[in-house]
Amino acid sequence: MNQEKKYLSSFARRISRKLSPYQKELLDQFLPLVLFNGENFENVLKNYTRAKFEIGFGNGDHILAQAIKNPKTLFIGCEPYLNGVTKVLDEIKNQGLKNILLYPDDARNALEIIEVGVLQTVYILFPDPWPKNKQKKRRVINKETLSMIHEKLCNTGELIIATDHKDYAQSILKDIEEIDLFKFNDENFDIYEQPEYWVKTKYETKALAGRSHYILLVKK
């Protein structure tokens, strides 16, 4: 990871609670076996029909549920929060999951490694809203990131976003309109209506900030 581009950080912390010896062991010994990198991704992808990418998987509720439900799909999960990474590592190890690769850092560096048109779906679920005006430049969803995602998606690729922060949702919709690279999956879809297939995360269940917004997009 020495050649990674330095993006303005979109995350505030790497660790919330001190890591246990077992968590440290997972990071030191098991993470290298499922670590996303360019070579590993190309070799593993050959065994799957499609690839999906999650930016900021938190405690892993969504990516784990999706990987178990869709064993023929490869999932790449990015998360700098190491407590969450160890939780997912533990589940991968205990359940013998083969279709998850993890990148414990900024997702934009991982996206740069992926070839154009490879991804079927990109998920960004409840990213840090950075609500203060001076913080907004740290939001992970902006025109630059949206353009990068568009490039990596296949022709029928989807971008699925959820946020419970109204101002962030409005900012995202404004950026989407201005770059004109995506269209809504369903023009009649209610932005406040949770999709039928949705996997509710622990964060969403707690409803920490407010009403959730669901932005379901398809590459133009």
Domain ranges of the chain: 26-219
pLDDT at 199: 86
* For range 156-185, the mean pLDDT: 94
pLDDT at 190: 75
Q: CATH assignment of 26-219, given 3.40.30.10, 2.60.120.580, 3.40.50.150, 3.50.50.60?
A: 3.40.50.150
pLDDT tens digits along 183-209: 998 776 778 888 888 888 777 776 555
- Quick one: DSSP state of residue 105? S
- Nearest-CA neighbor of 129 among 14, 214, 209? 209
- Quick one: DSSP state of residue 134? G
Active-site position among 128, 164, 167, 186: 128
Longest CA span, the chain:
50
pLDDT tens digits along 7-62: 555 455 556 678 999 999 999 999 999 999 988 898 999 999 999 999 999 999 99
- Nearest-CA neighbor of 10 among 165, 138, 99? 138
- Nearest-CA neighbor of 90 among 126, 59, 44, 121? 59
pLDDT at 15: 60
Residue 128 a catalytic site member: yes
